[in-house]
């Protein structure tokens, strides 16, 4: 019953939001495939774990969903970013870049630089 | 914000039981279809494409679980499930449930009842805004041993302008006044207060106004504020009451305001709190003495509202500085040896100070009862664990998590405790009118005691707290089952059951110890009460009745028909003559209110100045000084030890004489003959406007000590003066004989009012009633603690019975084997009894230690018995041992009769 570790949850949520930001409204499979494509084989996730996450994001108000027709005229549930979600994404992106920059700087520092 | 939104949506989904499962199923189906299509496009055969798509998606069941957990609130769902299960379990064993709920109803109900009393008294003693700012200002002269000497008007003005207080008010301590002109003369309780009194309390009138705080009338301003009760009772809630003239002690006052319904005056007695009239006065002009710094108003109480934000300690510090500077400024008025000090006491303290200890004792006692109830229930829960061992083991075997089991047991015990609490509260609510009648009338704020929402919240909070604490341990122990052992053979000394047994024994030892503490407390209180009840009071209250009347004291002394003792003596002698003619009356006497043994709230205390030891009036020790007629001593059976009593020659105009008791002789004339010694008693009553020094009073006799002031104190100094030399406005008529208590008041009223129709007659009571009334708070706390102790003993007995029965049950096989191997049945009996006694001994040991602590804490409530009283401790321990033995006897006998053939077949 335990939830996945926060890092994975947090980053996955960020990926979903970014995907919707870039591609516009998408159904679940579309989001999953996009994440897979971008991350390559590095991120092996059961695609099904996406759905509880989508529900959570929807409860939080970052995304909204509705039934619609897919490109090959199948009924599918489409998710889209809300205004609140976009603000959230921006804030998260800034934070992420900041963290990444700090970590990167730590890795750049070599022992001899200290002398 | 996002978290809140998420929580609310989930909560709504939970509440409306909306499921997202359908939607998820559809989405997953679509997802599979998309993925399969793509796999087919990549060249896979359709079956393989579908299989790989499903693998990529992951376990559908896990996804559904997660999705559902996100959709709703799984914690609440589980709780609901646990509760439903708990209800089913309760209904399955109704006997067990009933016992547990009844035990908790008793514990929580009793605790809540005492809490409701404490809530109205200790927790909310002052029904005024910002009560923490209110203080009582008390002047002491420690150098001459005089406390509460009152305040003079210049001192009051100093306080007012000191900058420490928002406002300072002087009040009378409550007295009687005659209201005439209505259907029949009424005696009402009134207070004379400075006009800023209501401003200090912070309460305004519901109709009209209170006094103008800036009113500077030196004497009475002839305005009166009346209570809501009086307004409704005597004036039919007439809205045109304002401006109406009232005749109070023959003076005309005008009603300016009616206080709100719930308003109660401050003070420690119900008498004070039920004041119905407030008269505004400046205490500085006729009929009061001129405002000299040295003329303190002895019977005045000063209350003040401190500047907001000022702590008592800070205010006291500034006040001390003020006192020092006043001493320097007026050295003549404040000689150093008197050690004049002014103390600030929280007003709360003065309201409930007298009963605080009794109430805390009661709350402690009821807390112990609650604790014992909880221990008992925890014990019962553990006992049931053995019965349910199999169920628990099966559920564990089927994969139930331990935490899940603990949570479920906790839900069960919480439900039991909550139901118990609600039942207790319900019983309390239904029986509240009956229970309120048990509370002594002398308890402050009796009328404010109510079963309110706050009390309900308290009951629920206690239930939940107790349920959590005492449900958790059994739940933990219950979940620790030896799975294999239990499933293989139920009830055969597995390690888990031994642990539970040990826990149960500890619980029973705790119960026994606590009940011993309660029983010791109850016995000590009982002995104190009994000693006080049986104490030789030094006077004979049997067959005596006292009836009171009150003579008017108009502001203009010349209009007073009973101005002098001579004028009054005509009335008093006539009252005595007529009283003796009443049916059954053998003797009659007259006294003032202070002469009523144990029945007066404020003693008439006067400064005693001895010849040869002359000090200023306001520096002399205070002495209680009743005013009586000579028949008083014989009527109450107080023998003369030396000298003589008052004679017919001791009347107004002749040298004043007084009789003292032995205590006064010992205290003020140690190793001397008091007869012939002269004293001055400075009077401070309404109506005295002269500042002339009173004449010397000669001591003519010494009577035996009697406990007329306090049953607990054998030797309080007293000085008696003759009513024919010193008039008193309060008149108590004492009658001895074969009296009919129901007929006497009307007879006396007829006689008194046929002499003067304006006199009220009230408060007819037998002295025995007065006597037992003075013990009412003691009696109440004794009875309550005794009741709690009996309950505790019963619960502890049940606890030990249950545990020993359980023990015998567990050891059935062992006992059977012993018997089969030839053990004597008597040995089995002693073996089981020894277990019971061992628990009793452990409980008694711990209990005695606890009881010693408690008995020393309550030492001030005891009378005539030491907190270490050996007989009490021994007796109580014996009772406990007997009960433990008796409770162990039944299971022991059962063990003895075990048939080895039936068990070991």
**CA distance to partner chain A, nearest, from residue B44 (Å):** 18
A60 within some domain = yes
pLDDT band at B687 (very low <50, low <70, confident <90, very high): very low
Q: Name which of B12, B14, B67, B401 to mutate to probe chain A: the one with the most chain A Cβ atoms within 10 A of its Cβ.
A: B67
Higher pLDDT, B822 or B149: B822
Least confident among B151-155, B159-163, B182-186, B507-511: B182-186
In the numeric block, which tokens belong to residue B90?
């309760």
Domain assignment of residue B468, yes or no: no
A61 with B71: Cβ contact below 8 A: no
Token pair belonging to B4: 């809140």
Provide the pairing of β-strand B245-248 with B175-180.
antiparallel
Overall number of domains in chain B: 3
* Inter-chain contacts counted by CB atoms under 8 A, chains A and B: 82
Residue A73 counted as domain residue: yes
B289/B219 Cα distance (integer angstroms): 10
Can you give the three-state secondary structure of B417-460, one letter per residue? HHHHHHHHHHHHHHCHHHHHHHCCCCCCCHHHCCCCHHHHHHHH
- Are B59 and A46 a contacting pair at CB < 8 A? yes
What are the phi and psi torsion angles at A107 (to 5°)? -75, -25
Q: Which residue has the higher pLDDT, B320 or B15?
A: B320
Cβ–Cβ below 8 Å for A52 and B66: yes
Check B24 against A1: CB less than 8 A apart: no
Query: Chain B partners of A62 at a C-beta cutoff of 8 Å?
Result: 2
Instruction: Give the tens place of pLDDT for each residue, B512-530.
Output: 899 899 899 889 988 888 8
Q: How many CA atoms lie within 13 A of B525 on its CB side?
A: 30
**Residue A93, domain member (yes or no):** yes
Centroid of chain to Cα A18: 6
Say if residue B627 is in the same domain as residue B702. Answer: yes
With 90 as the cut, is the pLDDT of residue B658 above it? yes
Please report whether residue B566 resides in a domain. Answer: yes
Residues of B in contact with A75 (CB under 8 A): 26, 30
Domain stop point among B706, B729, B757: B757
Q: Distance between alpha carbon B522 and the CA centroid of its chain, in Å?
A: 17
Maximum pairwise Cα distance, chain B: 139
Longest dimension (CA), chain A: 66
> Which residue shows structure tokens 């008091």?
B674
Provide the token pair at B573: 């002698």
CA–CA distance, B300 with B298 (Å, rounded to integer): 6
User: Could you tell me if residue A114 is inside a domain?
Assistant: no
Identify whether residues B58 and B148 lie together within a single domain: no
From chain B, pick out residues whose CB is under 8 angstroms from the CB of A47. Answer: 31, 35, 56-58
A95 touches B: beta carbon within 8 Å = no
DSSP assignments along B271-304, one per residue: HHHT--EEEEE-SSSTTSPP--TT--BTT-EEEE
Would you say B780 and B439 are in contact if contact means Cβ atoms under 8 Å apart? yes
Identify whether B503 is part of a domain: no
Asked whether the beta carbons of residue A60 and residue B69 sit closer than 8 angstroms, the reply is: no
Range of weakest confidence among B163-167, B481-485, B655-659, B671-675: B481-485
**Mutant choice from A55, A74, A92 vs B, greatest count of B C-beta within 10 A:** A55
Does one domain contain both B151 and B42? Answer: no
CA atoms within 13 A on the CB side of A43: 18
End residue of a domain, out of B307, B338, B357: B307
Question: Both tokens of residue B537?
Answer: 């009071």
B886: helix, coil or strand?
helix
H or E segment to which residue B56 belongs: helix B46-57
Question: E-strand spans in B704-758?
Answer: 719-722, 730-737
Strands B622-624 and B605-610: antiparallel
Out of B736, B757, B778, a domain closes at B757
* Helix ranges, B535-617 (H): 565-580
A52 touches chain B (CB under 8 A): yes
For the stretch B827-883, pLDDT in tens is: 888 888 888 889 899 999 999 999 999 999 888 888 888 888 999 999 999 999 999
Average pLDDT, chain B: 84
Residue B620's φ and ψ, nearest 5 degrees, are: -85, 155
- Same domain? B700 vs B565: yes
Q: How many structural domains are present in chain A?
A: 1
**Among B569, B519, B362, B612, residue whose Cα is nearest residue B850:** B519
pLDDT tens-digit series, residues B452-465: 888 899 999 999 99
- Residues of chain B in contact with residue A64, where contact means CB-CB under 8 angstroms, are none
Segment B618-638 shows an average pLDDT of 86
What is the bridge-based pairing of β-strands B719-722 and B627-628?
A: parallel
Query: CA distances (Å), B384 to each of B87, B95, B96, B474, in order?
Result: 16, 12, 9, 10
Pick the closest to residue B537 from B398, B679, B715, B690 (CA basis): B715
Is B558 found in the same domain as B652? Answer: yes
Interface check for A73 against chain B (CB to CB < 8 A): the answer is no
Q: In what order do the strands lie in the sheet with A75-81?
A: A26-27, A75-81, A63-69
User: In angstroms, rounded to a whole number, what is the distance separating the alpha carbons of residues B533 and B712?
Assistant: 10
Residue B454 neighbours by CB under 8 Å, 6+ apart = B119
Rounded (10°) angle between helices B776-810 and B812-820 = 60
Any domain includes B820:
no
**Nearest chain B residue to A54, by CA:** B67
Domain holding A88: CATH number?
A: 1.10.10.10
B282 shares a domain with B211? yes
For residue B491, give the nearest of B799, B804, B802, B806 by alpha carbon: B806
Distance separating alpha carbons of residues B368 and B514, to the nearest angstrom: 7
Chain B nearest-CA residue for A56: B70
* Token code pair at residue B428: 């309390």
For residue B96, being part of any structural domain is answered with: no
Interface contact A29-B30, CB threshold 8 A:
yes
In this predicted model, what pLDDT tens digit does every residue of B279-316 receive, in sequence order?
888 888 777 777 777 667 666 788 999 998 889 999 99
**Binary contact (B31, A62; C-beta < 8 A):** no
Residue with tokens 């002698």: B573
3-state secondary structure B833-882: HHHHHHHHHHHHHHHHHHHHHHHHHCHHHCCCCCCCCHHHHHHHHHHHHH
Q: Is B21 on the interface with A (CB under 8 A)?
A: no
pLDDT greater at residue A98 or residue B903:
A98
Chain B touched by A9 (CB under 8 Å): no
B1, B2, B60, B73, best to mutate vs chain A, most A CBs in 10 Å: B2
Taking CA–CA distances from B3, the nearest residue in chain A reads A60
Q: Are residues B262 and B181 in the same domain?
A: yes
Give me the pLDDT at residue A42, please: 61
The pLDDT assigned to B637 comes to 92
Q: By CB neighbour count within 10 A (0-12 exposed, 13-18 middle, 19+ buried), where does B73 fall?
A: middle
Interatomic CA distance for residues B46 and B192, integer angstroms:
104
Beta bridge partners of A78: A27, A66
Q: Name B302's bridge partners.
A: B137, B170
B657 domain-assigned: yes
pLDDT for res B688: 38
Q: Do A52 and B5 touch (CB under 8 A)?
A: no
Residue range(s) defining the domain that contains residue B591: 553-757
The residue that leads in pLDDT, B255 or B121, is: B255
Domain of residue A82, residue span = 6-109
- Cα distance between residue A30 and residue A26, in whole Å: 6
Q: Does the residue B519 lie in any domain?
A: no
Mark whether B583 and B711 lie in a shared domain: yes
Instruction: Specify if A82 maps to a domain.
Output: yes
- Kindly state whether residue A54 falls inside one of the protein's structural domains: yes
What residues have CB less than 8 Å from B200, skipping those under 6 apart?
Answer: B134, B166, B167, B168, B169, B303, B304, B305
CB B718 within 8 A of CB B664: yes
B212 phi and psi angles, rounded to 5 deg: -75, 115
Q: Are residues B738 and B627 in the same domain?
A: yes
Question: What does the pLDDT read at residue B533?
Answer: 82
Q: Does residue B663 fall inside a structural domain?
A: yes
Give SS3 for B737.
strand
pLDDT one-digit tens code per residue, A33-88: 888 888 776 665 677 888 888 888 888 888 888 888 877 777 888 899 999 989 98
Tokens of B154: 């210049």
Asked if A47 reaches chain B (Cβ–Cβ under 8 Å), the answer is yes
Q: Which of A47, A62, A74 sits opposite B57 (nearest CB)?
A: A47
């Amino acid at each position: 019953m335990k939830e996945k570790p926060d890092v994975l949850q947090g980053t996955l949520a960020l990926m979903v939001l970014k995907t919707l930001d870039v591609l516009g409204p998408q159904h679940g499979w579309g989001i999953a495939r996009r994440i897979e494509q971008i991350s390559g084989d590095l991120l092996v996730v059961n695609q099904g774990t996406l759905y509880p996450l989508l529900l959570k994001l929807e409860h939080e108000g970052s995304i909204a969903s509705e039934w619609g027709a897919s490109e090959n005229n199948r009924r599918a549930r489409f998710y889209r970013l809300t205004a609140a979600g976009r603000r959230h994404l921006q804030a998260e992106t800034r934070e992420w870049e900041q963290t990444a920059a700090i970590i990167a700087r730590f890795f750049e520092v070599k022992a001899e630089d200290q002398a | 914000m996002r978290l809140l939104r998420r929580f609310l949506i989930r909560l709504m989904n939970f509440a409306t039981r909306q499921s997202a499962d359908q939607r998820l199923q559809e989405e997953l189906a679509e997802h599979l279809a998309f993925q399969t299509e793509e796999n087919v496009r990549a060249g896979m055969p359709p079956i393989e494409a579908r299989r790989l798509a499903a693998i990529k998606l992951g376990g559908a069941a896990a996804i559904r679980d997660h999705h559902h957990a996100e959709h709703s609130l799984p914690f609440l769902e589980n709780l609901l499930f646990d509760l439903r299960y708990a209800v089913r379990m309760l209904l399955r064993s109704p006997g067990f449930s009933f016992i547990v709920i009844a035990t908790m109803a008793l514990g929580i109900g009793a605790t809540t009842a005492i809490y409701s009393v404490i809530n109205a008294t200790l927790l909310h003693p002052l029904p005024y805004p910002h009560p923490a700012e209110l203080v009582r200002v008390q002047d002491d002269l420690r150098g001459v041993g005089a406390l509460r000497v009152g305040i003079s008007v210049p001192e009051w003005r100093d306080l007012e302008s000191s900058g420490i207080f928002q406002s300072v008010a002087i009040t009378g301590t409550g007295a009687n006044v005659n209201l005439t002109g209505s259907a029949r003369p009424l005696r009402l309780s009134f207070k004379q207060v400075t006009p800023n009194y209501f401003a200090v309390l912070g309460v305004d009138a519901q109709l009209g106004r209170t006094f103008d705080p800036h009113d500077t009338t030196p004497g009475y301003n002839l305005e009166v504020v009346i209570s809501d009760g009086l307004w409704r009772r005597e004036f039919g809630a007439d809205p045109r009451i304002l401006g109406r003239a009232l005749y109070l002690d023959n003076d005309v006052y005008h009603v300016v305001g009616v206080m709100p319904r719930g308003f109660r005056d401050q003070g420690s007695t119900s008498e004070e709190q039920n004041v119905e009239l407030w008269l505004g006065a400046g205490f500085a002009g006729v009929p009061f003495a001129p405002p000299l710094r040295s003329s303190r108003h002895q019977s005045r109480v000063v209350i003040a509202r401190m500047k907001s934000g000022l702590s008592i300690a800070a205010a006291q510090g500034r006040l001390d500085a003020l006192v020092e500077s006043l001493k320097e400024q007026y050295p003549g008025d404040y000689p150093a040896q008197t050690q004049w000090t002014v103390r600030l006491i929280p007003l709360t303290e003065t309201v409930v100070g007298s009963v605080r200890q009794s109430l805390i004792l009661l709350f402690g006692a009821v807390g112990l009862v609650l604790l014992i109830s909880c221990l008992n229930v925890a014990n019962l829960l553990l006992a049931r664990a053995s019965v349910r061992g199999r169920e628990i083991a099966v559920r564990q075997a089927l994969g139930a998590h331990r935490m899940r089991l603990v949570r479920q047991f906790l839900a069960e015990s919480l439900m039991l405790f909550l139901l118990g609490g609600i039942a207790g509260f319900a019983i309390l609510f239904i029986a509240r009118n009956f229970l309120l009648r048990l509370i002594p009338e002398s308890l402050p704020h009796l009328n404010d005691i109510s079963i309110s929402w706050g009390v309900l919240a308290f009951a629920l909070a206690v239930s939940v707290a107790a349920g959590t604490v005492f449900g958790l341990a059994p739940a933990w122990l219950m979940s620790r089952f030896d799975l294999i052992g239990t499933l293989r053979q139920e009830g055969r000394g597995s390690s888990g059951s031994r642990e539970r047994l040990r826990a149960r024994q500890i619980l029973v030892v705790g119960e026994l110890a606590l009940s011993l503490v309660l029983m010791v407390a109850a016995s000590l209180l009982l002995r104190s009460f009994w000693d006080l009840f049986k104490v030789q009071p030094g006077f004979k209250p049997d067959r005596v009745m006292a009836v009171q009347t009150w003579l008017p004291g108009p502001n203009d002394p010349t209009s007073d028909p009973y101005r002098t003792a001579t004028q009054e003596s005509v009335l008093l002698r006539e009252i005595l003559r007529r009283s003796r003619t009443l049916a059954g009356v053998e003797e009659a006497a007259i006294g003032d209110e202070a002469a009523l043994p144990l029945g007066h709230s404020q003693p008439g205390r006067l400064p005693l100045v001895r010849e040869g030891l002359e000090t200023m009036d306001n520096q002399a020790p205070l002495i209680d000084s009743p005013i009586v007629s000579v028949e008083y001593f014989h009527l109450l059976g107080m023998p003369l030890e030396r000298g003589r009593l008052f004679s017919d020659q001791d009347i107004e105009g002749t040298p004043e004489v007084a009789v003292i008791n032995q205590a006064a002789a010992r205290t003020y004339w140690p190793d001397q003959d008091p007869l012939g010694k002269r004293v001055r008693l400075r009077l401070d009553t309404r109506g005295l406007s002269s500042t002339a020094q009173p004449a010397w009073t000669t001591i003519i006799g010494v009577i035996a000590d009697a406990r007329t002031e306090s049953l607990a104190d054998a030797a309080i100094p007293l000085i008696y003066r003759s009513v024919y030399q010193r008039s008193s406005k309060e008149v108590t008529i004492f009658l001895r004989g074969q009296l009919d208590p129901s007929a006497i008041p009307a007879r006396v009223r007829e006689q008194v009012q046929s002499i003067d129709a304006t006199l009220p007659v009230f408060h007819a009571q037998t002295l025995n009633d007065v006597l037992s009334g003075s013990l009412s708070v003691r009696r109440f706390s004794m009875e309550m603690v005794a009741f709690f102790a009996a309950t505790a003993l019963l619960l502890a007995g049940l606890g030990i019975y249950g545990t020993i029965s359980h023990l015998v049950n567990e050891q059935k096989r062992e006992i059977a084997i012993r018997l089969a191997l030839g053990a004597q049945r008597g040995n089995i009996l002693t073996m089981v009894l020894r277990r019971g006694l061992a628990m009793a001994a452990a409980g008694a040991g711990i209990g005695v230690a606890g009881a010693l602590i408690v008995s020393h804490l309550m030492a001030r409530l005891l009378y005539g018995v030491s907190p270490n009283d050996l007989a009490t401790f021994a007796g109580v321990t014996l009772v406990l041992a007997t009960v433990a033995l008796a409770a162990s006897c039944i299971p022991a006998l059962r063990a003895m009769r075990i048939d080895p053939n039936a068990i070991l077949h």
